[in-house]
Amino acid sequence: MTPPDDLRAGRLYRAIWRWHFYAGLFCIPFILLLAATGSLYLFKPQIEAAIDRPYASLAITGPLATPRAQIEAALAAVPGSTFAAYQMPERDDAAVQVLVAAEGERTRVYVHPQTLAVLKTVPEEARFMSVVQSIHGELLAGDMGSLVVETAASWAIVMVVTGLYLWWPRSARGLAGVLFPRFGRGARTMWRDVHAVTGVWISGLALALLLTGLPWTQVWGEGFKRVRAMTGLDAVTRDWTQGRAAERAAAAADEHAEHMAAGHAHDMAAMHDMGGGAHDMAAMTPVSVDALVAASRTLAVAPPAMLTPPSKKSPTWDLKSAAQNRTIRTEVAFDPMTGAIVKKTGFKDRHPIDRAVAIGVSAHEGQLFGWANQALGVLAALGLAILSVSAFVMWRTRAPKGALGAPPLADARLGAGVAALILVAAVLLPMFGATLIVVALLDLVVLRRIAPVRRYLGLAPS
Q: Give pLDDT tens digits for 264-308.
A: 333 333 333 333 333 444 445 688 999 999 999 999 899 999 999
- Tell which wins on pLDDT, 309 or 451: 309
- Tell which wins on pLDDT, 412 or 178: 178
Instruction: Compute the distance between CA of residue 214 and CA of residue 357 in angstroms, rounded to an integer.
Output: 10
Q: What angle do CA 305, 299, 65 make, to 5 degrees?
A: 65
Domain annotation covers residue 142 = yes
Whether pLDDT at 259 is above 50: no
Q: How confident is the model at residue 343 (pLDDT cuts 50, 70, 90)?
A: very high
pLDDT exceeding 90 applies to what percent of the chain?
57
- Tell which wins on pLDDT, 177 or 273: 177
Determine the pLDDT at residue 176: 75
Q: What is the pTM of this model?
A: 0.84
Domain annotation covers residue 171 = yes
Which of 81-95, 163-177, 265-279, 315-329 shows the lowest per-residue confidence on average (mean pLDDT)? 265-279
Give the best-scoring range by mean pLDDT among 47-51, 273-277, 350-354: 47-51
Which of 26-35, 97-106, 186-195, 300-309 shows the lowest per-residue confidence on average (mean pLDDT)? 186-195
Give the number of other CB atoms < 10 A from CB of residue 226.
10
Determine the pLDDT at residue 171: 67
Whether pLDDT at 152 is above 70: yes
Domain annotation covers residue 158 = yes
Determine the pLDDT at residue 274: 33
Mean pLDDT across 415-424: 79
Domain annotation covers residue 260 = no
Q: How confident is the model at residue 230 (pLDDT cuts 50, 70, 90)?
A: confident
Whether pLDDT at 118 is above 50: yes
Determine the pLDDT at residue 277: 36
Determine the pLDDT at residue 272: 34
Q: How many domains does the structure of the chain reveal? A: 1
Range of the domain at 418: 4-44+134-217+370-457
Give the number of other CB atoms < 10 A from CB of residue 371.
9
Instruction: Compute the distance between CA of residue 424 and CA of residue 417 in angstroms, rounded to an integer.
Output: 11
Mean pLDDT across 376-405: 91
Domain annotation covers residue 344 = no
Domain annotation covers residue 106 = no
- Average pLDDT, rounded, for the chain: 85
Q: Give pLDDT tens digits for 373-385.
A: 999 999 999 999 9
Which of 223-227, 417-421, 425-429 shows the lowest per-residue confidence on average (mean pLDDT)? 417-421
Domain annotation covers residue 424 = yes
Domain annotation covers residue 253 = no
Mean pLDDT across 40-63: 96
Determine the pLDDT at residue 11: 75
Determine the pLDDT at residue 278: 34
